[in-house]
Each structure stands twice: as structure tokens, then as C-alpha cells.
Structure 1
Amino acid sequence: MLKDEQLLSLDVAASQLGVETKDLRSYLRKHRPKGAVQVPNKPGGNWHLHPSLLQQLQFAGAPGIDAPLLPIDDATLDALEWSEWIPFEQSAEQAPVLPGVYVVRERGQEQSPPLYIGQAGERNGKGLRGRLKVYSSGMGATSGLGKYAMNLALADSAWLAQFVHEAEAGRPESVERMARRAIDRLNLEVRWVPCVHRKAAMLLEAALIKKHSSTLWNGSSDNEQDSSEK
């Protein structure tokens, strides 16, 4: 391990994965995932892995790596490296263009429980940022977080009355703006964990939903998520 950067050498990482060093090196050369560092950064440089990348490869695997997969337990979830919590309205610009898992909660209270957990795959290079932009643009009113926010808003007669008054005053609101305002009324904040690929994001999402199901809008058995992004 490189002490200053907390990186694992290629040999150590391969040993912990239970794979040949050459197979892991081949994967890193081809895919160059986040968390892999080549020192020096040129052909022939030595590869090193951040512990978070090794962890995801251990439970999700990767193309060309025939390693035994480990279950995701509480220790794995507790070791996840989350981003800082940020207001929802900033998330579409600050989220990485990588696959990953995101968690939403009410803003303003440190101990607020998670309300929604979702994931994003590669999305043609847009990743988490692309998924969150769907919500911030108001285009996601019938799926995932946008759907839950809209259903809650439609049950609020005072909120609906605002749109009636605006329409009567000659200022009708668009569907997209209504969807965005449905999210804004909840005063949410977001954080995320980037993932090495979509499979890792899906596995983490499922494990996190199971752990926090009692407080989640999408935590009941009736709302189990399929393989699509949410």
C-alpha cells in the first residue's frame, strides 16, 4: 500500500480479489475505472487501486475478472465513501458523470432518515448527473423520485390550489414546472457514491433499500425496483 495515498498495489489487490495479477492489470488498462491509478501515468507505469474500487470489484466483479463475489454486508455499507450532502437543486450540476447510488433525505436535520434511494448506470457517459437532471428538469414525474414527489404533491390541496389561482390569473404552469415544484416543496438534499459500473450500483441500491426500508418511500415490497434506473 502507498501510505500517503492509501492505495493498494496491483499484487495486493489481485491477491485480495483472488485473481491473477495479469487479469486485473488487463482490466485496468482497458477500462481505467475511477479509483485506479497508474504511477507514473504512462505505459509501463505501476497500477494501484483505491480501497473503494477494490471493495466494489469484490462484490460486483468486472469484465475479464473471474473472482468469487462477496456478499454486501453492513460492514461494506458502513465503509462506503459518500459525497457531502448538498441541496437537491445543486445536485444536477455537481453529481459526477459516473454510475452510482444516491440517497435523498429532508434538508436541515442531521439525523433525518433517508427517504429515497436510487441508482444510475452509465447513461451514455452522463451517469448520476444525467439521472438527477431528469428530475431537476421536471421530465421524471412518472418514475422514481419524481413520481413519489408528484404523488405527495397531488395529495396536498393547498399546493394544487396555487396552480388553479395561477391558471385563473393567466399564468398556467407547464407539466415540467409542476413536476419540479413537486420536488422543491419537499426541501430535499442528496448525496451519492460513484460506482465502477451499473451492476455495482444496482447491487448497492438493493442492499441500501433493504437496510433502510422502514423510512423509504420506495422501501416496501410493493415498490421493489427492477433493473431500470430510478
Structure 2
Amino acid sequence: MSNPLEELLSATAPAAAPALLGAVLVRSDPEATVALRLSEVEAYGGPTGSDLPDPGAHTYRGRTARNASMFGPPAHLYVYFTYGLHHALNLVCRPDGQAGGCLIRSGEVVAGEDAARRRRSAHRITEPPHAGLARGPGNVAQALALDRSDDGAPLRYLGSSPDPVLAAQRLVAENPGYPKPWTGLYLPDRAGQLNIVTTARTGVSGEGGTDAFPWRFALEHDPTVSAYRKAAVKKRRTRS
């Protein structure tokens, strides 16, 4: 029987992404357990010819060894290395065989800050501020110590709570680290509605970065959300 997290992530990414805002992602390894309240998420679809073709997605040209995890099953991780600089994390959506995922762009570190700060400061001259510890997808992966070895790993359902931050803080206090790495998610059991800003995706080139794909979702006025950067649409060259 599927759990609420698998049910949520069996939907298309544009449907699932807004529901992830306010959820708390927990990452544990032998060094530390770090919890991240999600504040900014982008949705990505599937290949050309599918029911949700997305020219901005890694899956657009079909399945490869690199993007295989994006084709399911849901509630797993897709971790990739980009620009030769950093890793990024997606939560896989859709039933097995159908591509989709939610890129975790930003969040607030709500537990395990010492470990997150140590990881983020390792190659910096100055320490990032609290709000910037996990602002941007590369910083998310660095704060959580995720890399390609985590690609395809299952995402645990940790429960639903009216206060997922408090639930995660209790878990981290009781279990500061685990022998084997794992990643899980507390879902919010919301009594009210969050104020969510929806835009085109940031930094995505070509058609996938246009208003035809309003698949970036962020908590309004949250200081941890990354600055919006709309990519320029490439113009076709014409012969004179």
C-alpha cells in the first residue's frame, strides 16, 4: 500500500511541486542529520512525445544512463552534477516509466545548522548567512552532503504534521546521525493556505524558460528563496 508521500509524488511534477512547499526534507549520514524546510521548488516534465513534454527537462530527449532515475519509480532521488561545479536534487514524480521531478531550489536549514554551515563554508572565505545556507540548488545539495552516489535512492515518508519543522527538530535532536545515509520528508498537515508565488523557471534557456512553463513555485517574501532570473529566449538565426 502506498503512503501519502508516494501518492503525492505519483502526480505530475507541476501538481506535486506546490504541495512540497513548507515540507521538511531530512538528510542523515554518519556525520550529521540536517533538516531543510522547503521554500522554492521547480517542476520538470518528460520527453517529447510524452503526455507532458518539457524542453527544459533533462528527460526531453529520452532516457539515458544519467537521467534514468527521473523515469521512476516515484518518491526517489534524482541527483545530477551540473556545469562541472555542483550537484542538484530532484524528487522523482510520476508512476514508474513516466518521467518527472521536482528540483529543490531553496530552503531554510531548521536543524543541523552547524554541519550545514561547515559544509557550505569549506570552500568559502566568508560564512554564508543563515538564510543563504541552502539558497539555490547547488547550495541545497552541498548543505545536505548529497552527490551522485545518492542518485536513485528512496525517499522515506517521515509522516505528516501540523508543524513539520518541530517534528524534524525533534528527530534530529534524538538522532544526530545514522550509520547509513538516508533521506526523508515530513509533509505539512496544513490548516491554512500558504502564499505561493508562481513564475516561469529561473535560468532555463529556450522555450522551457518561458511563461509557457510557469513551473517555479516559491513561498512569498521568504528570505531563503533565490533571486528570480529569467533566461533569455534564444533567437533563431536567419540568413540574409
Q: Same fold (TM over 0.5)?
A: no
Q: Which has the higher contact order (CA 8 A, sep 6+)?
A: 2
Structure number with higher strand proportion: 2
- Structure label with greater radius of gyration: 1
Structure number with higher helix proportion: 1
